[in-house]
Structure 1
Amino acid sequence: MIFSFSRLNLYRQCPYRFYNKYVLGKEEPVTKPLALGKAVHQAIDDIINGSSHEEAVLNGYASAGFHEDLVQQEISDLVERAPVYWKMGRTEVYFKLPPSNSHNAPEIQGYIDLLSPDGAITDWKTNRSIYGV
């Protein structure tokens, strides 16, 4: 079985939602925070890969499906505050690792939002509540 922080956190919050999403494969509605995070992540990725701020914000808005509760200005403001610049590293780096060498060990998966050339890892957050890992 594959685990991630998001999956484990959803199970902790609501085992029934976890069951519906990861066992039954039911889609959950896209909330504003989810759409905003997707839009900002995409815009940051685009800027790091050479897009202009305006183009990146529009691409971010599009990647979030033009969610009805999103406002382009909010995406723009969050992206503007992010300390990003062209070619600062690789974005959306996927990983899947076993936590032990055991043959039956589960795997942990996720995405690193930004992997800098010096090996620093950044996890962008657009949520409005603080939580611990």
Structure 2
Amino acid sequence: MHIVSFSRLQLFRQCPYRYYLRYVKKLPEPPSEPLELGKAVHTAIELTYHGTPRGEAVDRAVRNAALPVSAAEVAALVRNADIVPGVGEVEAEFMLRLDQGMWLYGLVDWIVMKDDGTAVVTDWKTNRVEEDVLVTHQLDLYAAAAFRVFGARRVVTRYVFVRTGNVHEKTYDAPPEEALDWAKETAAEIIERGEAEEHFRPNHGLWCRYCPFAMQCYALWGRI
């Protein structure tokens, strides 16, 4: 059985070599401030959902971060998350079958099932550039999971950008086949390439300047 996640598929499409180092060779990536901030915000939101007072939730999340993050910034971002304590489910796991022996694993930030069979799927984002998120298939795939795993008859997905409070919604009456095809094709290509390093050439781009494996890439491929 081959299990993938949206983040793995997206990383492979962005840069196969970084995917290879991270998931085939299993090299750890060092923590970064944006990643730790995002984790702290999600942790504080989840604690708030379970009834922890917001101030205490923020303090606990900040203390658990691998790098120093601003408690004031985390608190400000958490205030823009429209969480309703005790309603629905946070960090809802799913396994969605893509094909024979091929599964997509995911965690939905917050899913609420309504009486009419509508699933409202929310994903909180701390990104500064919203367009980078909106062009991906992440919530399309989560919508498919809402239909096929959670049993929804209709799905509304919501990106909530907690820096601005902007909310981007999309409604589905059926699983989005284009996103499912993208996931299946990408996963099949990963499987086909096997584990040989030469099959995972890098895609060079602006993201290289933030890549923790930039020096390994330069040593092997001759450029960053």
Query: Using the alignment, how far apart are the partners of 1:62 and 1:23 within structure 2?
Result: 32
1:31 — aligned with what? Answer: 32
- Say what the alpha-carbon RMSD is for the aligned residues: 1.4
2:75 — aligned with what? Answer: 76
Kindly state the Cα deviation for residue 98 of structure 1 after the two structures are TM-superposed: 1.0
TM-score by length of structure 2 reads 0.54
Query: Using the alignment, how far apart are the partners of 2:88 and 2:49 within structure 1?
Result: 7
Runs ≥4 residues deviating over 2 A: 62-65
TM-score by length of structure 1 reads 0.88
1:60 — aligned with what? Answer: 61
Runs (5+) with no aligned partner, structure 1 = none
1:46 — aligned with what? Answer: 47
1:123 — aligned with what? Answer: 123
CA deviation map 1:17-64 (0-9, x unaligned):
111111111110111111111101110111111000111101221332
1:48–1:89: 8 Å Cα contact kept in structure 2?
A: no
**Aligned residue pair count:** 128
Amino acid at match of 2:125: K
Larger gyration radius, structure 1 or structure 2: 2
SS in 2 for 1:45: helix
Task: Give % identity.
Answer: 39
Written as runs of structure 1 = structure 2, the 5 A alignment for 1:3-42 is 3-42=4-43
Query: Using the alignment, how far apart are the partners of 2:43 and 2:77 within structure 1?
Result: 12
Amino acid at match of 1:24: K
Query: Using the alignment, how far apart are the partners of 1:27 and 1:38 within structure 2?
Result: 17
